[in-house]
Amino acid sequence: MQGEADVAVIGGGLIGMAAAYHLARDGGARVVVFERGEINAAASGNNSGSIHAQIPVEPFLNKGEEWAIRFAPTLRLMMAGIARWRELPEELGTTELEIANRGGLVMARSAAEMAMLGRKSAIELAQGLETVLLGRDELLGLAPYLAPDVVGGAFCAIEGKANPLNATFALARAAQAHGVEIRRRTEVTGLMAEGTGWRLATSAGEVRARRVLNCAGAEAGRIAALLGLDLPIEAHPIQVTVTERAAPFMPHLVYSAADRLSLKQSAAGSVLIGGGWPALLHPVTGLPVVSEESLFGNLRLALGAVPAIARLRVVRSWAAIVNGTQDWRPILGEMAPGAFICFFPWMGFTAGPHVARLVAELVLGQRLATDPEIAGFAPCATTA
């Protein structure tokens, strides 16, 4: 492989394809995407498709309000991500994204849980995110499928879901329509500054590019290390379970105020049960595999929240690697002159289409690194 490009994008997931699309469409750049496996085969295609806006419960409980206040500016990127999702079906000319924003609710079973939701809601409101606290009757009036022992909850109207099996491929087709080249099964193994650009060593040969954009998800830390950067990027195996199809009965994205839970019903009728429960790594292959302990724990929590799920059969469970950081904050910006990163931990499916456009504009010189929307998430702020 020999060649030249204006921008080399590393990573063929949702963020990589969205970035490539904007680089080519909005900047007329010659773009090549390197994906070491198949596109959409990692977290982008293996998540459950939740579109989040609220501060997640589990780290709020475990890390506290000081963490939440530091994390809170990330909510603005997530809200902008939701707005971007709403634009995509018409822009891409497709209905296959299956975007539905019917709202997300966190159910509480005690006064202490309601008090926690009140504190969390105040931090969200300070960032412009409206979450409404509901009493028991209001909550069951909105969501009569919930367990009757709820005492109340929090509702966020803009949350929802999309189809993770289709979204990345829709963006890939749009990118290719603007001349983007996608090189599957091609791993980037080296990055060397060369003149005013970069020379990339790959498993299929060398390529030169004026700019490099790291969208490698859980592998983004390895790519950054090729430049001598030690970014706090982690990879975690988690799992999701899906049921057989049922008639529509649960229009919302459902969480628990007590533990890790996300529930939603897909457009096809299946209920997706997740929430970040840990999976295992196979001792021989190193690949993620389903944990029986997590499966039973997740199902118990789901049945306690929505009793109607008990009548549905589980079709399958799967495990995948999700990228994360301890502080849950994204890393966006320039790693070295001409080399950029677009990394959004844990909830990259929500914010991905938006942050990909932001960083693509930065790469193209259409946005300044001092732009307040991304300045606080620069790699230098992360490594400092």
> Among the three residues 324, 343, 359, which one is the final residue of a domain in this structure?
324
pLDDT of residue 384: 42
Instruction: Please check whether residues 119 and 136 belong to one and the same domain.
Output: yes
Which range of residues forms the domain containing residue 335?
4-45+166-233+327-383
In a domain, 252, yes or no: yes
Instruction: Please check whether residues 270 and 318 belong to one and the same domain.
Output: yes
In a domain, 199, yes or no: yes
pLDDT of residue 3: 77
> Among the three residues 273, 299, 324, which one is the final residue of a domain in this structure?
324
- E strand or H helix that includes residue 324: strand 314-324
Which CATH number belongs to the domain containing residue 213 in this structure?
3.50.50.60
Instruction: Please check whether residues 226 and 359 belong to one and the same domain.
Output: yes
Instruction: Please check whether residues 318 and 256 belong to one and the same domain.
Output: yes
253-256 vs 104-108, strand pairing mode: parallel
Which CATH number belongs to the domain containing residue 244 in this structure?
3.30.9.10
pLDDT of residue 215: 98
- E strand or H helix that includes residue 197: strand 197-202
Instruction: Please check whether residues 156 and 245 belong to one and the same domain.
Output: yes
In a domain, 83, yes or no: no
Alpha-carbon distances of 79 from 52, 75, 197, 371, rounded to whole Å = 8, 6, 34, 17
Mean pLDDT in runs of 10 for the chain (384 residues)?
Answer: 86 98 97 97 94 97 97 98 98 96 97 98 97 98 98 98 97 98 97 95 96 97 97 96 98 96 96 97 96 97 97 97 96 97 97 98 96 93 50
Rounded to two decimals, the pTM is 0.96
Q: How many domains does the chain have?
A: 2
